[in-house]
Amino acid sequence: MTQRKSKADRRIELIDAARRAMIQHGAEGVHLNQIAEEAGLTSGAVLYHYPDLRDLLIEAHHAGMERFYEQRMKKITGIADPAQKLIVTIRSGLPQGPDDAGVRLLCELGGAAGRNRVYGTLLTTLYDRQVAMYQTILEVGAAHNAFTLAQDSETIGRNLVALEDAYGYRIVARHHSIGADEAVELILGYARLATGHALKLTAAPHRTTAARRPATPRAQSA
């Protein structure tokens, strides 16, 4: 038998398993057995911890968002220069590639958010938090005279997050000429106009091209 775990530990594992399963099979198309398998358990055990599967899915989405947001924050804390901070923040909001787990999960949610209020709220909340994050960077930069904002920080923040989101979708959909690097450059194009700062890239980009490996062949569903 699989090693027993405390209720709390197992629930955390299940949340993560659900997250992985949803990325593979879709936020709504995912099956109980797929989550169980991902967790190395049987379906009965999953039900023991989450009698209503929807609760698990919501928690998994919530956890995915927290993780996404925390990872971004971790990457930018400690950067003093506002311009560098802005550049790194933009990059951190984009997927590494078409298979980036964090962004994939968020994209899954987009469609469901139109039908399900809980998901809509979840996604909206994340959006607002990211806007606030950008606003802080922008205003600090303006206060330090690094940036000369051409619009109010809310407008710029909203547009920056919007651009990130949209290019995330493009990258996940494997656009042939827009990869993470290209998206960064496109978003920076706007950021330069909005901040009046040259926002020069210094560090080497994480990836160099949009072209990608042929990817692991995997059964398609719908």
Q: Tell me which residues touch DNA (CB under 7 A).
A: 1-7, 10, 31-33, 40-45, 47-49, 51, 53
Q: By three-state DSSP, how is residue 78 classified?
A: coil
Residue 7 vs 213, nearer CB to DNA: 7
Task: Give the helix/strand (H/E) hosting 135.
Answer: helix 117-143
Choice from 108, 133, 146, 180 touching a copy of itself (CB under 8 A): 108
Instruction: Write the burial class of residue 114 (CB in 10 Å: 0-12 exposed, 13-18 middle, 19+ buried).
Output: exposed
State yes or no: residue 163 binds a copy of itself (CB under 8 A). yes
Partner from a copy of itself, DNA, none binding residue 173, C-beta < 5-8 Å depending on class: a copy of itself
Report how many residues bind a copy of itself under the rule CB under 8 A: 55
- Per the listing, tokens 């996940």 go with 172
Task: Identify which of 76, 59, 43 has the alpha carbon closest to the alpha carbon of residue 8.
Answer: 59
- Do 62 and 96 contact (CB within 8 A), yes or no? no
- Give the interface with a copy of itself as residue ranges (CB under 8 A): 24-29, 54, 57, 98, 104, 107-120, 123-124, 127, 150-151, 155, 158-159, 161-163, 165-167, 169-170, 172-176, 178, 186-187, 189-190, 193-194, 220-222
